[in-house]
């Protein structure tokens, strides 16, 4: 069944997960104080139940978020961290099964603490094959990109990210292999390893969540009922004509318009959005307009927006143009596939419910561009990201200290 975007008016909330977490934590603490080691199995079952509940709620919230607003950091968080919690649940279920089968071996509640404490490290090791394949693909695409478009710093971002990903996995594996010394020295070693794993885990979940979110919004085909379609600019040739990348965005918009007219008979209005750069002969908006005219689109179906200098301004100024004609218009936007999710974020930031369509690009260009988009995502919503990252660090620090109490 297809999940339709923008069909839910209420944002999904996950406050109940925090409440259930607090209740589960309180129950485990009370059991450990009142019953000591005898509570180990019951505590493990409580953790299993909480993880099941949290995963189910994240799945429901993920679908609800797509229906409410797919272009949201929540879409990334829900998908990325749900996969992590699944790995935690698997490890904890195996521990619970061991407690039931051999209670004499797993009677100590420390097993539960160490299982949870090792969750970040385990996830890194479990996801290592994916990270390796993903990193190799990034390097191959970057090498091809450099061969086609010469060496530039932005053309090696994928190689840099691949190196950081593999180096992080290798560093963790090397550090986690062996530790010696006093109990304090071993504790400090484990604390460092767990802190590193927690930080790595956060960025890995963000990366995987961003990949999932972008794939979903790129594959989504909007309803054929749109009044306006914004085409986002992205640079021109020296003669002022569209680059292949920009022509791809225009062609994707034209294909959508053709399909809409065939299915519903409704004609939309194109908004060509993009100002004139310092080294450009004319505005990106004018170049796109001329291209559309060449393809047979009448001038009365084209609106120029020629002031914007970035994606945020594309959305902001295009929204003003559209609302001057129709405040309740149904809007789509066309951009390159790797750019759809972040463009949608900017559209929602200016309070415009526009749905994106993505134009294909050359295989060697897409991964590196996707890396730049991911870096762009990391630089936004710093407060929310800091809160989540700090919470994860505090959780693993607390577990480490508890394991060595």
At 306-340, the pLDDT tens digits run 999 999 999 999 999 999 999 999 999 999 999 99
d(CA 112, CA 95): 8
Q: What angle is formed at CA 261 by the lines to CA 260 and CA 264, rounded to 5 degrees?
A: 75
Question: What is the pLDDT at residue 114?
Answer: 85
- CB 126, CB 172: distance < 8 Å: no
Question: What is the pLDDT at residue 202?
Answer: 93
Q: How far is CA 377 from the centre of its chain?
A: 8
Q: Report whether pLDDT(364) > 80.
A: no
Question: What is the pLDDT at residue 87?
Answer: 94
The residue-averaged pLDDT of 28-56 equals 86
The pLDDT tens digits of the residues spanning 368-382 come to 777 888 888 888 788
Question: What is the pLDDT at residue 190?
Answer: 84
Q: What angle is formed at CA 55 by the lines to CA 50 and CA 17, rounded to 5 degrees?
A: 55
Q: Report whether pLDDT(105) > 80.
A: no
Q: Report whether pLDDT(194) > 90.
A: no
Annotate 53-68 with b (16+ C-beta within 10 A) or e (fewer). Answer: ebbebbeebbebbbbb
Average pLDDT of the chain is: 90
Question: What is the pLDDT at residue 149?
Answer: 76
Q: Report whether pLDDT(62) > 90.
A: yes
pLDDT band per the 50, 70, 90 thresholds, residue 58: very high
Q: What is the DSSP string of 372-400?
A: HHHHHHHTS-HHHHHHHHHHHHHHHHHHH
Listed in sequence order, the DSSP H helices in 36-118 are: 40-68, 73-101, 110-117
Q: Report whether pLDDT(36) > 70.
A: no
Question: What is the pLDDT at residue 252?
Answer: 97
Q: Report whether pLDDT(47) > 90.
A: yes
Q: Report whether pLDDT(32) > 80.
A: no
Question: What is the pLDDT at residue 241?
Answer: 92
d(CA 91, CA 115): 7
Question: What is the pLDDT at residue 28?
Answer: 87
pLDDT band per the 50, 70, 90 thresholds, residue 303: very high
The residue-averaged pLDDT of 338-350 equals 94
Q: Report whether pLDDT(208) > 80.
A: yes
Compute the CA torsion angle 234, 235, 239, 240 (nearest 10 deg). Answer: 60
Annotate 301-331 with b (16+ C-beta within 10 A) or e (fewer). Answer: ebbbbbbbeebbbbbbbbbebbeeeeeebbb
The pLDDT tens digits of the residues spanning 146-182 come to 887 778 777 788 889 999 999 998 888 888 766 677 7
Q: Report whether pLDDT(141) > 90.
A: no
**Which residues in the chain are classed under CATH 3.40.50.620?**
228-361
Residue that wins the pLDDT comparison between 56 and 239? 56
In sequence order, which residues have a C-beta less than 8 Å from that of residue 206 and are 6 or more positions away?
Answer: 76, 80, 374, 377, 378, 385
Question: What is the pLDDT at residue 228?
Answer: 98
Q: Report whether pLDDT(66) > 90.
A: yes
What letter does residue 299 receive in the DSSP assignment?
Answer: G
What letter does residue 242 receive in the DSSP assignment?
Answer: B
Tell me the residue length of the chain: 405
pLDDT band per the 50, 70, 90 thresholds, residue 205: very high
Question: What is the pLDDT at residue 383?
Answer: 86
Class of domain 228-361: alpha beta
Residue % of the chain over a pLDDT of 70: 98
The residue-averaged pLDDT of 200-220 equals 92
Q: Report whether pLDDT(1) > 70.
A: no
The residue-averaged pLDDT of 390-398 equals 89
Question: What is the pLDDT at residue 186?
Answer: 82
The residue-averaged pLDDT of 205-212 equals 91
Residue that wins the pLDDT comparison between 400 and 69? 69
């Amino acid at each position: 069944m297809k999940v339709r975007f923008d069909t839910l008016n209420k944002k999904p909330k996950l406050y109940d997960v925090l409440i259930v977490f607090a209740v589960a934590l309180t129950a485990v603490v009370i059991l450990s104080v009142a019953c000591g080691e005898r509570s180990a199995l019951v505590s493990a079952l409580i953790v299993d139940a909480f993880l099941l509940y949290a995963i189910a709620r994240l799945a429901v919230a993920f679908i609800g978020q797509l229906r409410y607003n797919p272009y949201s950091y929540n879409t990334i968080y829900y998908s990325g961290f749900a996969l992590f919690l699944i790995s935690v649940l698997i490890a904890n279920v195996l521990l619970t099964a061991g407690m039931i089968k051999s209670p004499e071996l797993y009677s100590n509640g420390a097993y539960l603490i160490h299982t949870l404490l090792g969750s970040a490290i385990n996830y890194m090791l479990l996801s290592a094959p994916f990270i390796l394949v993903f990193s190799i693909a990034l390097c191959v695409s970057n090498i091809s990109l450099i061969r086609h478009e010469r060496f530039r710093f932005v053309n090696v971002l994928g190689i840099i990210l691949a190196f950081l990903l593999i180096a992080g996995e290798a560093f963790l594996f090397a550090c986690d292999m062996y530790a010696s010394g006093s109990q304090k020295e071993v504790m400090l070693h484990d604390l460092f390893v767990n802190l590193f794993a927690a930080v790595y885990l956060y960025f890995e979940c963000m990366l995987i969540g961003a990949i999932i979110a972008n794939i979903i919004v790129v594959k989504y085909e909007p309803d054929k009922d749109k009044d306006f379609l914004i085409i986002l600019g992205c640079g021109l040739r020296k003669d002022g004509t569209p680059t292949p990348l920009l022509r791809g965005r225009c062609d994707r918009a034209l294909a959508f318009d053709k399909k809409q007219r065939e299915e519903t008979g409704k004609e939309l209005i194109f908004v060509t959005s993009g100002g004139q750069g310092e080294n450009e002969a004319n505005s990106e908006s004018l170049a796109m307009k001329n291209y559309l005219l060449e393809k047979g689109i009448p001038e009365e179906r084209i609106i120029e927006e020629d002031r914007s200098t970035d994606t945020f301004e594309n959305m902001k100024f295009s929204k003003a143009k559209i609302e001057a004609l129709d405040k309740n218009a149904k809007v789509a936007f066309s951009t390159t596939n790797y750019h759809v999710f972040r463009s949608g974020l900017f559209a929602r930031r200016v309070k415009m419910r526009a749905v994106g369509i993505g134009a294909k690009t050359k295989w060697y260009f897409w991964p590196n561009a996707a890396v730049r988009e991911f870096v762009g995502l990391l630089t936004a919503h710093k407060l929310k990201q800091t809160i989540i990252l700090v919470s994860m660090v505090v959780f693993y620090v607390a577990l480490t200290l508890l394991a060595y109490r």
